[in-house]
């Protein structure tokens, strides 16, 4: 947002194109403007704090000089990268790289500082292909499983597990975005599954929504103690399920 805001601020006349692309590893957002541009001397410093391009043209524009520094830090936090290519008087292209899978590919995102991926020909068109959010459903009752799958199948990728041990295994292997977890399960019950998951670095950050019968207050307490993040009451209501997932996944 900051970067796009800058592009607007420093472009009096002309156009700004925002193009979103992706490959198997990253999402790229190219923000291309025909603004004042940035000189070669200034280019290495634009992500420094309290620094704005020191040209007369820049004086007409106000700003703290913090925007790009913040954008840069934000991208680092997201294991992404931000690059810029610019020509004085002609404009700039900022490219934001966000890994689809993180952490792990930071180096790659930062590695190629000079080359800017070529914007696609379809200008102003958003090309945004990415994977569906992954939901691991751990539920031994086939009817409940069918219901959940029917509700979620178009918007989510569903991984099924019919017992606690398999649920735990899938949570580690598949890195789901969220887990729906029944309590009474063969091999290992839901409470035990959450306890183990929340102690394991690989799985502790995955939100777990317990599926509980409304009458079972003690179940909720046990789940909470075990580290469970939220609840959905059975029988499952389609709207509530969607709302909960949206809340947790920001979808
Ligand atoms: Mn059950």
Q: How many angstroms does the Cα of residue 200 sit away from the middle of ligand 1?
A: 24
Q: Are 48 and 54 a contacting pair, CB within 8 Å?
A: no
Q: How many angstroms does the Cα of residue 160 sit away from the middle of ligand 1?
A: 13
Look up the pTM and report it.
0.51
Higher pLDDT, 10 or 144: 144
Higher pLDDT, 41 or 153: 153
pLDDT at residue 121, as a whole number: 47
Q: How many angstroms does the Cα of residue 183 sit away from the middle of ligand 1?
A: 6
pLDDT at residue 91, as a whole number: 81
Q: How many angstroms does the Cα of residue 178 sit away from the middle of ligand 1?
A: 18
Higher pLDDT, 33 or 165: 165
Q: How many angstroms does the Cα of residue 249 sit away from the middle of ligand 1?
A: 25
Give the C-alpha separation, 110 to 173, whole Å: 28
Residue 58 pLDDT exceeds 70 = no
Higher pLDDT, 137 or 49: 137
State mean pLDDT over 98-108: 59
Q: Assign 45 a pLDDT band (cuts: 50, 70, 90).
A: confident
Residue 42 pLDDT exceeds 50 = yes
pLDDT at residue 51, as a whole number: 52
Q: How many angstroms does the Cα of residue 248 sit away from the middle of ligand 1?
A: 23
Residue 111 pLDDT exceeds 50 = no
Q: Assign 12 a pLDDT band (cuts: 50, 70, 90).
A: low
Q: How many angstroms does the Cα of residue 205 sit away from the middle of ligand 1?
A: 24
Q: How many angstroms does the Cα of residue 222 sit away from the middle of ligand 1?
A: 16
Residue 236 pLDDT exceeds 80 = yes
pLDDT at residue 65, as a whole number: 53
Q: How many angstroms does the Cα of residue 202 sit away from the middle of ligand 1?
A: 25
pLDDT at residue 13, as a whole number: 62
Q: Assign 125 a pLDDT band (cuts: 50, 70, 90).
A: very low
Q: How many angstroms does the Cα of residue 186 sit away from the middle of ligand 1?
A: 8
Q: How many angstroms does the Cα of residue 140 sit away from the middle of ligand 1?
A: 5
Q: How many angstroms does the Cα of residue 211 sit away from the middle of ligand 1?
A: 9
Residue 123 pLDDT exceeds 50 = no
């Amino acid at each position: 947002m900051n970067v796009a805001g800058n592009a607007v601020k420093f472009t009096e006349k002309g156009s700004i194109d925002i193009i979103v692309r992706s490959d198997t590893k990253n999402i790229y957002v190219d923000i291309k403007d025909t603004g004042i541009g940035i000189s070669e001397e200034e280019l290495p410093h634009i992500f420094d704090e309290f620094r704005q391009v020191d040209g007369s043209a820049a004086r007409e524009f106000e700003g703290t000089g913090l925007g790009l520094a913040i954008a840069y830090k934000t991208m680092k936090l997201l294991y992404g990268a931000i690059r810029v290519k610019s020509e004085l008087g002609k404009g700039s292209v900022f490219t934001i790289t966000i890994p689809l899978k993180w952490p792990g590919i930071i180096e790659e995102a930062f590695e190629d500082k000079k080359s800017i991926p070529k914007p696609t020909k379809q200008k102003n068109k958003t090309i945004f292909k990415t994977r569906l959010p992954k939901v691991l459903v751990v539920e031994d009752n086939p009817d409940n499983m069918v219901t959940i799958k029917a509700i979620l199948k178009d918007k989510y990728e569903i991984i099924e597990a019919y017992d606690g041990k398999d649920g735990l295994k899938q949570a580690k292997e598949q890195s789901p975005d969220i887990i729906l977890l029944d309590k009474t399960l063969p091999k290992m019950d839901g409470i035990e599954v959450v306890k183990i998951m929340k102690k394991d670095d690989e799985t502790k950050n995955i939100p777990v929504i317990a599926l509980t019968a409304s009458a079972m207050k003690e179940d909720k307490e046990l789940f909470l103690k075990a580290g469970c993040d939220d609840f959905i009451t059975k029988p499952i209501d389609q709207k509530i399920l969607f709302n909960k997932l949206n809340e947790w996944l920001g979808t």
